[in-house]
Amino acid sequence: MDKKYVYFFGDGATEGTAKMRDLLGGKGAGLAEMTNISIPVPPGFTITTEGCVYYYRNGEFPPGLDEEVEIHLGRVEQSLDRRFGDVDKPLLLSVRSGARVSMPGMMDTVLNIGLNDKTVAGLARQMGDPRPAYDSYRRFVQMYGDVVLGLKPETEDDVDPFEEIIEAVKKDRGVDLDVELGAEDLRELVRLFKEAVKEGKGVDFPDDPREQLWGAIRSVFASWDNPRAIAYRQINNIPDEWGTAANVQSMVFGNLGDDSGSGVAFTRNPATGETGLYGEFLSNAQGEDVVAGIRTPKPIAALGEDMPEVYRELEDAARKLEAHFRDLQDIEFTFERGRLWLLQTRAGKRTAYAALTIAIDMVAEGLMSKEEALLSMEPEQLNHFLRPVFNLEQKEAAVKAGKVIARGLNAGPGAAAGKVVFNAADAAAWAERGEKVILVRVETSPEDIRGMSAAQGILTERGGMTSHAALVGRQMGKVCVVGCSDIRIDYKKRRFVALGGAVVKEGDEISLDGTTGEVLLGAFETQPSEIKRVLIDETLAPDESTVYRQFADFMSWADEARRLEVWTNADQPDQATVAVKFGAQGIGLCRTEHMFFAGDRITSMRKMIVARDEAGRRAALEELRPIQQEDFVGLFRAMAGRPVVIRTLDPPLHEFLPHEPAHIEKLAGQMDIPAEELAEKVETLRELNPMLGLRGCRLGIIYPEITQMQARAIIGAAVQCIRDGAPVRPEIMIPLVSHVNELFNQFMVVRNAADEIMDDEGVDVPYKVGTMIEVPRAALTADEIGLIADFFSFGTNDLTQTTFGFSRDDAGPFLRYYLAHNILKEDPFQTVDVNGVGLLMEIAVEKGRGAKAELEIGICGEHGGDPATIAFCHKIGLNYVSCSPYRVPVARLAAAQAAIKEPQT
């Protein structure tokens, strides 16, 4: 038999399950699973993502798909006793997109398919009322005209052509609201809409239901490749080749009067994590109205008063879904004449604060295991706990001074300040040139995501807590205030007016409090979050902060689960202290050169570089040694016996020298040498390709006195600490080694210097000497290098540069092109390129451990804080990852997730 492309759901004959996400898409798998656990879902069928992929590869539907669709359509017709296209008992359908992972609102959906001038009469009879039938009809023509036939506003500031017609008809009839239009008015709208389509697009609106159905399926497949979906995939790293499924589903009607309606709900509050249903609904409406933010909906609690039966059923369904999926669910529902139907369920997007509370609560309620709880939080989300909030005093003063000009819904917590812009393109452009902006829109749509991503905060006039702006804002971690009906936006004049009369123009500064929903005039200062105050600033006691206690519990679970250690990159004691508070277990990279820039150290450094001979260099280095030693003492103390990896001098020397003639002259004066001599020295140090020049271990080999001085300072500092009774674990790391002889050379320099100090002082220091693996030759000969090195540390920045042959400083322009055109899927400087660079890492681990089984191996490149890279490091058996202090919590969670996801053997 041919491949199966269609799966039925509903009415006791469901073919799919929740596990079939890849094939059925998230929405299709969710619909299937809901019917499997007896939650009421209107029957229908899913055309698989494989069907979509086939469609893209071949430019046509798979052979036999039409028959398969007919067969499944027949089952739907039978189960509902209605027929698609029938004049007496018409069945109406929706065609809904749905990829493997949720891409909220990015792709298309068409509702009410199957209507024409004949079937609408049958629908009216079925509904017992012509008005909702014609309301569905005009919605259908509008949606199909937009989505399938492409009649849309030309720019984002233009009005929608269909809305324009509606406004004109309302004006003509002297009514304010859509609901005041009668069946005859709606019939007129349908006629005018079809006319507009004919005029705008030069096509007749299709009356044949099957033509409508296939047009919608084609559109849903095509919407996988619309610009906003592509942009969303890029931002979220979703592969282009997955494709979307198309769900064809029988319609239920939320627009049959006041006992009908439609809504969206979370099984718990997605902003705070509080238990209990959370969401909103509109009575007498179809679902699109809620999501689009056209009417501001009522809070879900009001449903408990309006329709207590429906509300109870919804609560039951929510509980059942949470227990079944063991996670927060985000659901879409419709009730038709008091009967509840669920149309979608998926894991709910939530703020970091909500994720934490929900994880802690669900573990306590026995709904989740600790492992599941750890998987429910995106590692990146942990950054949000460190995000600033407003300075309370300033904020209070501002409130007293009447700076609060409006209030909306608090959809995305945190504090943001910036200049107002009114469209996404401006937001992106202004942010590009370094401005902080607040994007202000009547409502946002998927077209706006780039601008939303560029903005500090988002403010919308319309829409609820589950509107597009709220959903996407929350996911991006943006400060977000929505449904702010206190403001009136005028796109044409590029300004908004607040209720109290304040006029805010493009470029004016405002602040958003996403925690309270307030909009303030002016840009306000922000202050550290609660967790930062407890953990770092120590201005708040741990037991005074609930969120801190939750955070500490959660992180302790992560620590139990992970195998990788998390170290940090730090050059100064204060950075090390912060990192330890965040849980760092060592320093994976201390860049000694950073220590040479502070204060007048740079002068000694420069003297060393321009010295005419070795004696001159030694003299200058002797000035530096005590200073370095003191720095190392500080670091060792801060790390209290944890390992500290110190790298010997790495960058090319010219980086320490001035290049402007005026600066050279000044420096020559300070150093008491002729300006020409200094200029000449600078010139001789100039390299065509400094990245591949005299740097790394090559420096220490040509000028052994540099390495010697650093080794003495390190061992000297260790001696000092040991004398004070403080434990130390120094590890000296030689950079940019490509040949074992380079390491051997530097190893001998270090050992001699260390022996000398230890003999002189009569103190034994336990120390290690190791190397960075950051050029391919080192990885390939790791068996030789491993005989000498006590440890390896992957310098993945250089390893990426040298493996690809890209200079990171020059790669920007073509890398952007590569990423935009899918030549590379990911920026190899952000996530380790597993197939190339990663292969070299694997080879190095295997060969290195072959030479020395107990070889300690870590990663200290920028990649050490990237969750995907961390998962890879876990897989190939590294001992630790090292990242910047503020990323340590992210790395701890990512390491835990890698361990949890590891296939059990």
- Contacting positions for ligand ADP (CB under 6 A): 42, 94, 96, 105, 109, 111, 249-252, 262, 286-288, 291, 332, 334, 343-344
Taking CA atoms, 815 is separated from 121, 431, 450, 820, 831, in Å, by 58, 20, 19, 8, 13
* Under rule CB under 5 A, residue 30 binds Mg ion: no
**In angstroms, what is the minimal distance from the CB of 408 to ligand ADP?**
23
Residue 330 near Mg ion by CB under 5 A = no
Q: What is the CA radius of gyration of the chain?
A: 32
Between residues 286 and 467, which has the closer beta carbon with respect to ligand ADP? 286
Which window, 536-544, 641-649, 771-779, 891-899, contacts Mg ion (CB under 5 A)? 771-779
Give me the residue whose beta carbon is nearest to ligand ADP.
Answer: 287
The C-alpha atoms of residue 124 and residue 126 are separated, in whole angstroms, by 5
Partner whose footprint covers residue 262, from ligand ADP, Mg ion, none (CB < 5 to 8 Å by kind): ligand ADP
Stretch that binds Mg ion, among 409-417, 448-456, 547-555, 770-778 (CB under 5 A): 770-778
In angstroms, give the least distance from the CB of 26 to ligand ADP: 9
Q: Pick one of ligand ADP, Mg ion, none as the site partner of residue 833 (Cβ within 5 to 8 A by kind).
A: none
Least distance between Mg ion and beta carbon 522 (Å)? 38
- What is the closest distance, in whole angstroms, from the C-beta atom of residue 879 to ligand ADP in the complex? 44
How many Å separate Cα 774 from the centre of its chain? 29
Q: Is 446 in the site for Mg ion (CB under 5 A)?
A: no
Closest approach, Cβ 31 to ligand ADP, in A, equals 10
Nearer to Mg ion, 461 or 774 (CB): 774
Q: How far apart are the first and last CA of the chain?
A: 36
Residue 342 DSSP symbol:
E
Cβ atoms < 10 Å from Cβ of 655: 14
Stretch near Mg ion under the rule CB under 5 A, chosen from 178-186, 443-451, 745-753, 769-777: 769-777
Q: How many Å is the maximal CA-CA distance in the chain? A: 103
Closest approach, Cβ 795 to Mg ion, in A, equals 4
Residue 97 is a binding residue for Mg ion (CB under 5 A): no
Task: Select from 208-216, 332-340, 476-484, 744-752 the region that touches Mg ion (CB under 5 A).
Answer: 332-340
590 as an active site residue: the answer is no
- Is 344 one of the binding residues for Mg ion (CB under 5 A)? yes
Nearer to ligand ADP, 336 or 856 (CB): 336
Which position has the token pair 């540099």?
706
Q: Which residues, at least 6 apart from 205, have a Cβ–Cβ distance to it below 8 Å?
A: 141, 144, 145, 149, 193, 194, 197, 198
CB 739 within 8 A of CB 777: yes
Spatial contact of 525 and 519, defined as CB atoms under 8 Å apart: no
247 binds Mg ion (CB under 5 A): no
Least distance (Å) from ligand ADP to the CB of residue 229?
11
Point out the catalytic residue in the list 52, 484, 590, 860: 860
- Cβ proximity to Mg ion, 332 vs 461, nearer residue: 332
Amino acid, single-letter form, for residue 419: K
Judged by beta carbon, residue 251 or residue 653, the one nearer ligand ADP is 251
Q: Which does 798 bind (CB under 5 to 8 A by kind): Mg ion, ligand ADP, none?
A: Mg ion
- The number of CA neighbours under 13 Å toward the Cβ of 391 is 8
Q: Which of 95, 177, 189, 176 is nearest to 141 (CA)?
A: 189
Instruction: Report how far apart, in Å, the C-alpha atoms of 79 and of each of 40, 73, 725, 859 are.
Output: 14, 10, 81, 59
Q: Is 185 in the site for Mg ion (CB under 5 A)?
A: no
β-pairing, 404-407 vs 457-460, is unpaired
The partner in contact with residue 233, picked from Mg ion, ligand ADP, none with C-beta cut-offs of 5 to 8 angstroms by kind, is none
**DSSP tag of 593:** G
Query: Does residue 123 contact residue 89 with C-beta atoms inside 8 Å?
Result: no
Beta carbon nearer to Mg ion, 109 or 357: 109
Q: Which of 72, 468, 863, 874 is catalytic?
A: 468
Distance of alpha carbon 554 from the chain centroid: 20
Min CB(105)–ligand ADP separation in Å: 4
Q: Pick from ligand ADP, Mg ion, none: which does 111 bind, CB < 5 to 8 A by kind? A: ligand ADP
With binding defined as CB under 5 A, does residue 801 bind Mg ion?
A: no
Q: In the complex, what is the shortest distance from the CB of residue 55 to ligand ADP, in angstroms, rounded to a whole number? A: 18
Closest separation in Å from C-beta 95 to ligand ADP: 8
Looking at beta carbons only, is 108 or 631 nearer to ligand ADP?
108
Active site residue 873: no
Options 651-659, 793-801, 838-846, 864-872: segment touching Mg ion (CB under 5 A): 793-801
334: partner contacted, choices Mg ion, ligand ADP, none (Cβ within 5-8 A by kind): ligand ADP
Cα–Cα separations (whole angstroms), residue 594 to 573, 682, 859? 13, 20, 19
Q: How far apart are CA 642 and CA 567, in angstroms?
A: 10
Size of the residue set binding Mg ion (CB under 5 A): 5
Query: By C-beta, is 109 or 515 nearer to ligand ADP?
Result: 109
- The distance of Cα 351 from the centroid of its chain, to the nearest Å, equals 12
Residue type, 820: A
Q: Is 92 or 697 the residue whose CB approaches ligand ADP more closely? A: 92
Could you tell which of Mg ion, ligand ADP, none binds residue 652, using a CB distance below 5 to 8 A set by kind? none
Q: Which is nearer to ligand ADP, 290 or 811 (CB)?
A: 290
Q: Which does 795 bind (CB under 5 to 8 A by kind): Mg ion, ligand ADP, none?
A: Mg ion
DSSP H helix total and E strand total for the chain: 35, 33
- CA–CA separation, 817 and 837 (whole Å): 21
In angstroms, rounded to a whole number, what is the distance separating the alpha carbons of residues 774 and 790? 16
Residue from 457, 704, 795, 864 that binds Mg ion (CB under 5 A)?
Answer: 795
Could you give the CA distance from residue 451 to residue 599 in angstroms, rounded to a whole number?
41
Q: Which is nearer to ligand ADP, 287 or 414 (CB)?
A: 287
Residue 406 burial (C-beta neighbours within 10 Å; 0-12, 13-18, 19+): buried
CB of 313 to ligand ADP, least distance (A): 17
Name which of 430, 396, 435, 401 is nearest 418 in CA terms.
435
Residues numbered 596-655 forming contacts with Mg ion, rule: CB under 5 A:
none
- Tokens 């909220």: give the residue: 104
C-alpha span between 476 and 446 (Å, rounded):
13
- Give the per-residue SS3 of 100-150: CCCCCCCCCEEEEECCCCCHHHHHHHHHCCHHHHHHHHHHHHHHHHHHCCC
742 binds Mg ion (CB under 5 A): no
3-class DSSP assignment, residue 589:
strand
Q: Does 798 sit near Mg ion (CB under 5 A)?
A: yes
Positive or negative CA dihedral for 454, 457, 463, 467?
positive
Site string for Mg ion, 204-243 (x = CB under 5 A): ----------------------------------------
497: which strand partners? 488, 503
User: Nearer Cβ to Mg ion, position 42 or 795?
Assistant: 795
Q: Which residue minimizes CB distance to Mg ion?
A: 798
In order of 169, 556, 696, 734, 791, the CA distances from 131 in angstroms are 16, 59, 78, 79, 77
Instruction: Report in angstroms how near the CB of residue 264 gets to Mg ion at its nearest.
Output: 8
188 binds Mg ion (CB under 5 A): no
Task: Show Cβ contacts of residue 23 under 8 Å, excluding neighbours closer than 6 positions.
Answer: 7, 16, 29, 48, 49, 50, 245
Pick one of ligand ADP, Mg ion, none as the site partner of residue 288 (Cβ within 5 to 8 A by kind).
ligand ADP
26 binds Mg ion (CB under 5 A): no
What are the catalytic residues? 468, 860
Residues that bind Mg ion (CB under 5 A): 332, 344, 774, 795, 798
